[in-house]
Amino acid sequence: MRKIETEQEVILSMEELTMDYSGQLVLKGLNLEVRSGQIIGYIGPNGAGKSTTVRILLGLQQGYGGTARLFGKDIRTSGISYKSRIGYVPETAEVYDMLTAREYLVFVGGCYGMDDQRAERKGRLLMEQFGLSDVVDSRLSSFSKGMRQKVLIISSLLHNPDLLFFDEPLSGLDANSVLVFKEIIAKLADQGKTIFYSSHIMDIVEKISHRIVLLYDGQIAADGTFEELKTQNKEGSLEEIFNQLTGFHQHAQIADNFVSIVEEV
């Protein structure tokens, strides 16, 4: 049985995290502590700074202020060994089109220190689970969007990481695959893995997250379970809570304006 929340190890923390892109202050001092086995739904309007936060935590973004800690260590000074404990599905990714799926997964496994045989075997077995056995030796350039996304998901999990960053991971997946992936996420969290899940698909975030963190105007505007946010905001769905917390009520007016402009001759 899982230990009560406060006894779990702190896997990820931010203290006064800031990011200034040449005078544009995108993150204004984020403070957050995430414990092992938690699924964090990280949401916010377009341009709020979600990907920036994830890039900082992955060690891909320089020039930030404050402190980011993973597995208890400041990522500025901890070296790069922590990266082997992390998996990442980016919002958009360059996959090596000329490689076959098998070659790509062996390559990624190698980057995480796996030997070829082990990466090949695990990659092949995971492809099979996603119904992709027939295309293991096809070039990625011939893959559909959803098929590529499945390969990206597999490559993020190949080395059995402890901490996962998913940025819009369901992009292109069909309804059956979404169902499978949601189950996978829940099971990974049950095994103690920590998941930082960034998405705009509110009904999925609402269902899978143990805790929802809303980034708005460079700050954490809400942080709690869906039930807590619902009680605090007196709204039914996460989509409605999102609209309320971001002060957005003009959707009908904007749609009217938009269509009138489209119809202008």
* Chain mean position to CA 83: 16
Task: Kindly tell me which of 48 and 195 has the beta carbon lying closer to ligand ATP.
Answer: 48
Sheet holding 219-224, edge to edge: 86-89, 163-167, 194-198, 39-43, 211-216, 219-224
* Chain mean position to CA 187: 16
Task: Kindly tell me which of 44 and 109 has the beta carbon lying closer to ligand ATP.
Answer: 44
Task: Kindly tell me which of 71 and 196 has the beta carbon lying closer to ligand ATP.
Answer: 196
Least distance in Å: CB of 34 to ligand ATP? Answer: 18
Least distance in Å: CB of 72 to ligand ATP? Answer: 25
Least distance in Å: CB of 183 to ligand ATP? Answer: 26
The enclosing H or E element of 197 equals strand 194-198
3-state secondary structure 64-99: EEEEEEECCEECCCCCCHHHHHEEEECCCCCCCCCC
**Residues forming the site for ligand ATP (CB under 6 A):** 21, 26, 44, 46-52
Least distance in Å: CB of 121 to ligand ATP? Answer: 35
Task: Kindly tell me which of 78 and 171 has the beta carbon lying closer to ligand ATP.
Answer: 171
Cβ–Cβ under 8 Å, residues 130 and 177: yes
